[in-house]
Amino acid sequence: MSVSMNIDMSMDMSTIGDETIDFNRSINEQAIDEDTKKEVLALLKSRSITEIKDYLLDVNRRLSETEEQFNDQLKIHYTVILKVIQDIAALHGQLSDIDNEFRDLCFNDDSYQIHKLPNFEPVSLQNSTIVQEEEQNSKNNTLPNVTLRVSNWILAVTNFIDRFTNSNENSSLFFDDMLKNTIDLSTDDSTQYERYQTIIRNKSMFLQKYIVDSLFAHKIQLKLTQNIQLFNLFHDTVPFYQWDPTITDQYNDILYDMILEEYDIEALYGKDKTASIISSPVVQAFLQSPIFRNTVIEKLVTNIEDQLNQLESTKHMEEMATDSSETKLVDTNDQEDKEVDEEISEIINDSIMQSMGLISERGVSTYQSIQTIIHKLSNLEDIGADTTRVQSLRQRLLDCLQKHELQAQNDANNEHTGTSTDETVQQILNNYNKGNLEQLMKKQIVSLQH
């Protein structure tokens, strides 16, 4: 019996040995990496056949689940994958076209070959200079150089539009680069850029519209020098860029109004000129140009005439000192919302107006209009407007004030004494305000007569 058991055990061991040899041979015959071989052998050595079978079933189950998840995701993203593949194919086509064009640029000698210099021959200095200039011009006018100049200009314009408003420190650099490239391109012979005419036209129109729209919306802020440089650009480079005249007129109005609002004409043209404002040669030339002077004169004259028309239609100025229905009243609710300094400033200003006999909103508004007209008349003289025209406007204002002064004197002579105490007190107050207003009108008349 023991012999039989030994024989069986030896047969089993022999069988296992044979299976191990067959397994090793099978592994060696397949293209399996060493790490996988080690992992499989470790499983065979450390686990039973049953455990290995269970492990194999678990691996197959996980593979099945993973494949199912993969198929589900593939169905969901199938269109996206197709789109990416199409994009890659299109990109490959574009890259192929670029590669072909680049090869053409490199090897198409008939179109792009740089011609060899001619044999040197002694020539006079003058002729040599002419030859060098012709060669330089010929070199600069080749298609690659023209394309490069257009590309640099487009890049400068794009950087200005995209980065000027977001750059605090380098904004001037973007503006200067855009301006320089735009001017440089316009100085070339326009026939060189016939193939790029549409691109230049569209980009220049976009640039002009961007500047005007952004200034209207207060999205960009330009210095006076920069504004004038743009003015010169839109007027001096018209033959090349063909700027839109309507948009140019809009920009002109923005510039003129900005100068009139932010700068005092007396500071620009008067005896005491502000040196810091007109130190730039560009600004000086613009301020002295006939187009600016004439335009500003017309704007000032139109504004003065409008204010004179309103003043001449105003009711008797004497009523401004007695019309209690329009007396300025202080709203206590508004006072609570204002800063203390602002309240004090308003109180002082109201006190000054009332001390001059101006106790109503209409009176204050009329007084301010008269002072504005007087100031603008002075501006017209500073800027060199026609003396006869200025004198005519001055006389018109003087006649208006004298008419109101005469009417005030007639009303004072026809005034009746109050019968009650309240009427008497009110009459005293009215007479006081009227007297102050008459003194104010006399001062204004005297200032206009000198």
> CB neighbours (10 Å) of residue 343?
14
Task: State the pLDDT at residue 318.
Answer: 46
Give SS3 for 382.
helix
Confidence tier at 206 by pLDDT (50, 70, 90): very high
DSSP string, 203-263: HHHHHHHHHHHHHHTT-----HHHHHHHHHHHHHSHHHH---HHHHHHHHHHHHHHHHHHS
Residue 256 in domain = yes
Residue 117 in domain = no
Residues 314 and 445 in one domain: yes
Residue 162 in domain = yes
Residue 39 in domain = yes
Residues 329 and 201 in one domain: no
Residue 179 in domain = yes
Give SS3 for 270.
coil
Residues 301 and 245 in one domain: no
Residues 249 and 211 in one domain: yes
Render pLDDT for 339-355 as a digit per residue (tens, 0 to 9). Answer: 666 777 777 766 666 66
**Burial zone of 121 (CB within 10 Å; 0-12 exposed, 13-18 middle, 19+ buried):** exposed
Residue 1 in domain = no
How far apart are alpha carbons 345 and 335 in whole angstroms? 12
Residues 17 and 152 in one domain: no
Q: What are phi and psi of 178, to 5 degrees?
A: -60, -45
Number of domains in the chain: 4
| Position 123 pLDDT exceeds 60 | no
Any idea what the CATH number is for the domain that residue 312 is in? 1.20.58
Confidence tier at 64 by pLDDT (50, 70, 90): very high
Residue 281 in domain = no
| Position 247 pLDDT exceeds 90 | yes
Give residue 249's domain range: 142-262
Residues 237 and 315 in one domain: no
Q: What are phi and psi of 360, to 5 degrees?
A: -125, 160
**pLDDT over 90, % of the chain:** 21
Residues 50 and 104 in one domain: no
| Position 48 pLDDT exceeds 60 | yes
Task: State the pLDDT at residue 2.
Answer: 37
How far apart are alpha carbons 369 and 312 in whole angstroms? 12
Residues 31 and 97 in one domain: no
Residues 341 and 442 in one domain: yes
Task: Show the tokens assigned to 112.
Answer: 């792009």
Residues 100 and 169 in one domain: no
Does this model's pTM top 0.85? My answer is no
Give SS3 for 360.
strand
Residues 195 and 311 in one domain: no
Task: State the pLDDT at residue 4.
Answer: 37
Angle formed at CA 345 by CA 339 and CA 349, multiple of 5 degrees: 145
Angle formed at CA 377 by CA 249 and CA 270, multiple of 5 degrees: 85
Query: Looking at the DSSP assignment, which residues form a beta bridge with residue 327?
Result: 360
> Of 21, 53, 76, which residue constitutes the final position of a domain?
76
Task: Determine contact, residues 165/219, Cβ cutoff 8 Å.
Answer: yes
How far apart are alpha carbons 238 and 401 in whole angstroms? 49
Residues 157 and 36 in one domain: no
- In one-letter notation, the amino acid at residue 198 is T
Residue 407 in domain = yes
| Position 153 pLDDT exceeds 90 | yes
